[in-house]
């Protein structure tokens, strides 16, 4: 048996293992275990429990390393492995948690990277992967609306900072902090407290707040409606086109047979007349 065929049959065996239910379930279980370990670390634990968690963390890191190597080995075209966003993400998370970190700041970073392991659940469960992909597809639709929203925020932040900076330095000090304050107002979070303060030097400043709330609510509402309509019309187009086609096909087929019958009839009459 030539080596190429051997390797190919080995690869297909690897892929069979990789896509098997047992392997998938094992990976998901380890990810959930990893998530629980991350959660457990936020509680105050006995030294023994802490040591157990350290060992567990090492074991999980090792498992993930082996798993990603295995998936790489099972991948048919090695060069294109990292072109898939999910593979790249998995590799980065795994490699990231391999780097040994000693000083206290780095420990925080290391633990942060471990948190992202939970996201691997998304890359492993196909339904979640599909969901995320469809959510990502919804983003460009919102592009120009987001830009418009940003312009509205920027203009109001500039105006707010221009007039109210001397009233409340903390909330309206500069354009950046003003945008955060406006985001707070857009969520209706204690916005009247902010308004009552600025209404003392500027009695008409309620116009600023009320128009801002109306504008953002109005633009947001229109964005939502726009997205609903777009998704809906896309789906309907696809579906109705299909259905209309099916229907028409049916009638068209019948009409063709009518025409065929007519042609036959015409021939029949011709033959009759020739006789």
Stretch 80-119: interaction string toward a second copy, x if CB under 8 A:
----------------------------x--xx--xx-xx
Q: Which stretch binds a second copy (CB under 8 A): 4-12, 74-82, 95-103, 233-241?
A: 233-241
H-helix or E-strand spanning residue 161: helix 143-164
Please pick, from the candidates 20, 29, 211, 270, the single residue that binds a second copy as defined by CB under 8 A: 270
Question: According to the binding rule CB under 8 A, does residue 202 interact with a second copy?
Answer: no
With tokens 């109001």, the residue in question is 156
Q: What is the DSSP letter of 104?
A: H
Binding to a second copy, residues 119-138 (CB under 8 A)? 119, 121-122, 127-128, 131-132, 134-135, 138
Binding to a second copy, residues 31-90 (CB under 8 A)? 35, 38-39, 42-43
- Distance, CA of 186 to CA of 183 (rounded, Å): 5
Please pick, from the candidates 16, 133, 232, 242, the single residue that binds a second copy as defined by CB under 8 A: 232
Binding to a second copy, residues 155-194 (CB under 8 A)? 155, 157-159, 161-163, 165, 173-176, 178, 180, 183-184, 187-192
Contacts of 186 (CB under 8 A, 6+ apart): 212, 213, 216
H-helix or E-strand spanning residue 130: helix 126-141
CA distances from 242 to 95, 108, 235, 236, 237 (A): 47, 55, 11, 10, 8
């Amino acid at each position: 048996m030539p080596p190429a065929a051997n390797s190919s049959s080995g690869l297909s065996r690897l892929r069979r293992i990789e896509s098997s239910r047992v392997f998938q379930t094992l990976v998901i279980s380890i990810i959930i275990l990893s998530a629980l370990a991350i959660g457990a670390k936020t509680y105050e634990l006995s030294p023994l429990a802490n040591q157990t968690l350290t060992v567990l963390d090492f074991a999980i890191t090792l498992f993930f390393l082996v798993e990603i190597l295995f998936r790489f080995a099972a991948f048919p075209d090695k060069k294109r492995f990292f072109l898939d966003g999910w593979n790249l993400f998995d590799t980065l998370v795994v490699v990231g948690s391999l780097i040994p970190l000693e000083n206290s700041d780095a420990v925080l970073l290391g633990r942060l990277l471990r948190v992202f392991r939970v996201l691997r659940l998304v890359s492993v469960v196909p339904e979640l992967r599909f969901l995320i992909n469809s959510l990502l597809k919804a983003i460009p639709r919102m592009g120009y609306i987001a830009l418009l929203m940003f312009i509205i925020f920027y203009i109001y932040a500039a105006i707010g900072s221009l007039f109210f900076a001397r009233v409340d330095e903390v909330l309206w000090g500069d354009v950046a902090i003003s945008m955060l304050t406006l985001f707070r107002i857009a969520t209706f979070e204690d916005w009247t407290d902010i308004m009552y303060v600025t209404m003392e030097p500027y009695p008409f400043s309620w116009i600023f707040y009320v128009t801002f709330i109306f504008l953002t609510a109005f633009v947001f509402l229109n964005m939502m409606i726009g997205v609903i309509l777009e998704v809906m019309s896309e789906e309907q187009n696809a579906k109705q086109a299909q259905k209309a086609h099916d229907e028409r096909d049916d009638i068209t087929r019948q009409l063709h047979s009518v025409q065929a019958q007519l042609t036959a009839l015409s021939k029949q009459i011709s033959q009759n007349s020739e006789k």
